[in-house]
Amino acid sequence: MILIKTADEIELIRQSNLLVSKTLAELAKHIKPGVSTGRLDQIAETFIRDHGAVPGFLKYQGYPKTLCTSVNSEVVHGIPSEKVILEEGDLLSVDCGVIMDGFYGDTAFSFEVGAMGEKVRSLLTTTRECLRKGIEQAVDGKRVGDVGFAVQEHAERHGYSVVREMVGHGLGRDLHEAPEVPNYGRRGTGPKLKKGMVICIEPMINMGRRQIKQDPDGWTIRAADNLPSAHFELAVAIDKRKADVLSTFEYIDEVLQKQSN
């Protein structure tokens, strides 16, 4: 069942998502060669708890950590570890969730670790553009297929492939609510989007083929051809003329801009 949120509920979901956004920005200060993904997980958990919330992923369906940290060919659900040390040129996707006042926040961002090659940087740029294209379709009266088509068309036009098995989702009191929001599809198909729905749009775009495989840890999903994969995610509330974006990359961009100056 697709749940329509009240204005008050949307504001609570916004606050949860803004905390996730600020958590990712805090992590941006620490992401560099030589840092372990386990250390990043510790920083995130402390930051979330210090701001009156609890990690949304920790113990969710048995997941053991606060963050999902996926490196290079890992698409999603990489498990943070002290043994995973970031290296110059790595691509690091960080997915983070919180629960605050009974509602989830859920957002992801793919980071450059040190100096990155132009090919991988182009993948990041295009994946973030795919997210923007999808959000443009997230308005009252459109359909889920319109969102997926916009993401898929932009990715494939740039020579990349779209992961099919992993999808976006509704968001609220549960982390994964209806409807599923695939990153591919046909215009005019799928559930109708209505004002008050809250969804996470999260393109997972591979540099090579779209096929994926699961690691023996039972969580980590990676590109089957071991080529890089990028992932960006924002939560949005469906509205009449334009999506109301509940999470933001602005805090992250501010940190990264200061680092580049």
The confidence score (pLDDT) of residue 246 equals 98
Q: Cα(175)–Cα(199) distance, rounded to whole angstroms?
A: 10
Domains by residue range for the chain, with CATH: 7-260 (3.90.230.10)
**Is the peptide bond preceding residue 179 cis, with omega within 30 degrees of 0?**
yes
Q: How many CB atoms lie within 10 A of CB 22?
A: 18
Which of 64-91 are b and which e, b meaning 16 or more Cβ less than 10 Å from the residue's Cβ? ebbbbbbbbbbbbbbbbbeebebeeebb
Please state the length of the chain: 261
The angle that helices 7-28 and 250-260 make with each other, rounded to 10 degrees, is: 20
Other CB atoms within a 10 A radius of the CB of residue 226 amount to: 12
Helices (H), ranges, 55-189: 118-136, 144-157
> Which of the residues in the chain have pLDDT under 50?
none
Residues 195, 244: Cα–Cα separation, whole Å: 10
Give the pLDDT score at 46: 98
- 193-248 tens-digit pLDDT: 999 999 999 999 999 999 999 999 999 999 999 999 999 999 999 999 999 999 99
Classify the phi-psi angles of 126: left when phi > 0, otherwise alpha if psi is within -120 to 50, otherwise beta.
alpha
* Helix/strand/coil percent split, the chain, to 5: 30, 25, 40
pLDDT value for 159: 98
Asked whether the whole model's pTM tops 0.85, one would answer: yes
Give residue 261's pLDDT: 84
Token pair for residue 235?
């939560």
Alpha-carbon dihedral angle through residues 180, 182, 188, 189, given to the nearest 10 degrees = -60
pLDDT of amino acid 258: 95
Confidence at residue 74, expressed as pLDDT on a 0 to 100 scale: 98
